[in-house]
Amino acid sequence: MIDRSKLSNSFEFVVTAGARARQLLNGATPRVDVGDHKKTTVAQAEVATGAVEMLPRVDPRAPVVE
């Protein structure tokens, strides 16, 4: 079980873990010990331990700075 009280932002945790779970389901290599856990649980563990982190979102409408 993930202790969410130690997380700074529950929404960011859920979004990041969901995106990582989709990557794992598509064949990405896990970054933590998998054991007998489902891909979604592995993704949550990766986010909680800091093995993966959320990338800043880029607005596609923003002007390109060169």
Indicate the burial class of 28 (C-beta count within 10 angstroms; 0-12, 13-18, 19 or more): middle
The structure's pTM equals 0.75
Confidence of residue 27 (pLDDT cuts 50, 70, 90): very high
Residues in Cβ contact with 10 at an 8 Å cutoff, skipping those fewer than 6 apart: 4
Please write the tens of the pLDDT for every residue from 30-62: 999 888 999 999 999 999 888 988 777 777 787
Q: Whole-angstrom Cα distance, residue 50 to residue 55?
A: 13
